[in-house]
Amino acid sequence: MSKSGALDLASGLGGKIDKEGVKSAVDEYEKYHGYYGGKEEARKSNYTDMVNKYYDLATSFYEYGWGESFHFAHRWNGESLRESIKRHEHFLALQLGLKPGMKVLDVGCGIGGPLREIARFSSTSVTGLNNNEYQITRGKELNRLAGISGTCDFVKADFMKMPFDDNTFDAVYAIEATCHAPDPVGCYKEIYRVLKPGQCFAVYEWCITDHYDPNNATHKRIKDEIELGNGLPDIRSTRQCLQAVKDAGFEVVWDKDLAEDSPLPWYLPLDPSRFSLSSFRLTSVGRMITRTMVKALEYVGLAPQGSERVSNFLEKAAEGLVEGGKKEIFTPMYFFLAQKPVSE
């Protein structure tokens, strides 16, 4: 089960970083980002270090607030956040046509929440690819507790350089993960390489929309906040992602920003104007309590120095995500289904 208590949050802060090194890791992480004067080129050239620091610092907060699946979802009226997240994962499995016995790759799998849900839903064998050691350690433990260690596993590797043979997998998916790639074409080409001919890749991408204006100072600030709070080298447009997957060799079956027709806004769990008991820790009140708790735990020495600053930049991300969603300049669920041609 997911770690859910205050002491679990405190003990997990920093991931595999030595507790004495958390504060310096926060310093280094923040300096990568435009919000603190950092440059996109530095984020892209050092993306492995930046993203690993981010997930070492942030994973325990994610698990404390979100559970095992760290992503947003298209959501119906009357549907809980947890129900919508599961349906969002099942939707991918159905789009990919997953069948029992298929070998599937989850690119950027986090601690494996979607991996476990999709594996159980479709009776497939899912491999989770992740370059963060702390998340893989958590994922393996959660797989063991779920009883699926025999059919699902994790591989520590960079998704720009996958350690798999050509034509290995029957299906590949990514959920809000390939947005961390410094080069989308390079990332999609690796996915293309390891996917069997005739099979499909499905993805939810974080993107800026056509409503984004790079010359608008408010839009730029929102983009900087989202990049800072989510470990992103850049946020690409939907058009850039669609062209990138074509340039990688795929044929696009269909694509759509699923946020456009979601009955409930995807950012609702974070919106300060709304309140929910079922997802209380994600609400503005819940996040305020978490920040206060982290500050106290840091003060008494139960959480490492720098923990409050992690909480603060995650809060900045939440603010940017809500504002970006309301202005319709950002989406976390640009979806496309793409097929590798049978013959190249």
Convert 162-201 to b/e letters by CB count within 10 Å (16 or more is b): bebeeeebbbbbbbbbbbbbbebbebbbbbbbbbbeebbb
Cα within 13 Å of Cα(146), Cβ side: 25
Mean pLDDT of 192-212: 98
Per-domain residue ranges of the chain: 6-70+265-326, 81-263+329-340
Q: What is the pLDDT of residue 164?
A: 98
> Which is more confidently placed, 273 or 112?
112
Q: In which band, very low, low, confident or very high, does the pLDDT at 18 lie, cut at 50, 70 and 90?
A: confident
Q: In which band, very low, low, confident or very high, does the pLDDT at 146 lie, cut at 50, 70 and 90?
A: very high
Mean pLDDT of 74-100: 96
Kindly tell me the burial class for residue 210, based on how many C-beta atoms sit within 10 Å of its own C-beta (0-12, 13-18, 19 or more): exposed
Q: What is the pLDDT of residue 179?
A: 96
Q: What is the pLDDT of residue 187?
A: 98
Name which of 316, 267, 266 is nearest 36 in CA terms. Answer: 316
CATH topology of domain 81-263+329-340: Rossmann fold (3.40.50)
Cα within 13 Å of Cα(293), Cβ side: 15
Residues near 177 by Cβ (< 8 Å), separated by ≥ 6?
Answer: 107, 108, 109, 110, 159
The model's pLDDT over 251-305, given as tens digits with 9 standing for 90+, comes to 999 999 999 999 999 999 998 877 665 567 677 777 888 888 888 888 888 788 8
> Which is more confidently placed, 129 or 272?
129
